[in-house]
Amino acid sequence: MSTHAAIDSTGDATGMQGREFAWTNADFDRVQDLIYRRAGISLHDGKHAMVYSRLSRRLRDTGHQSFKEYLSWLESTDGPEWQEFVNALTTNLTSFFREQHHFQIFAEHLKSKPATHPWRVWCSAASTGEEPYSIVMTALEALGSRPRFSLMASDIDSKVLATAANGVYKGESLKGISAAQMQAYFMRGKGSNSGLVRVKPELKQLVEFLIVNLIKDDWPFKEAFDVVFCRNVMIYFDAETQRRVLERIHRVMKPGGVLFVGHAENFSDSRDLFVLKGKTAYERR
Residues tagged active-site? 54, 155
The Cα 164–Cα 175 span in angstroms is 17
The Cα 183–Cα 59 span in angstroms is 44
β pairing state of 168-170 and 196-199: antiparallel
Compute CA 119 distance to the chain's CA centroid, rounded to the nearest angstrom: 22
Q: Which residue, among 248, 184, 256, 181, has the nearest Cα to 215 in the 3D structure?
A: 248
For every residue of 37-79, DSSP letters joined together read: HHH-----GGGHHHHHHHHHHHHHHHT-SSHHHHHHHHHT--S
Closest CA to 284 of 256, 261, 265, 260: 256
For 263, phi then psi, to 5°, come to: -65, -20
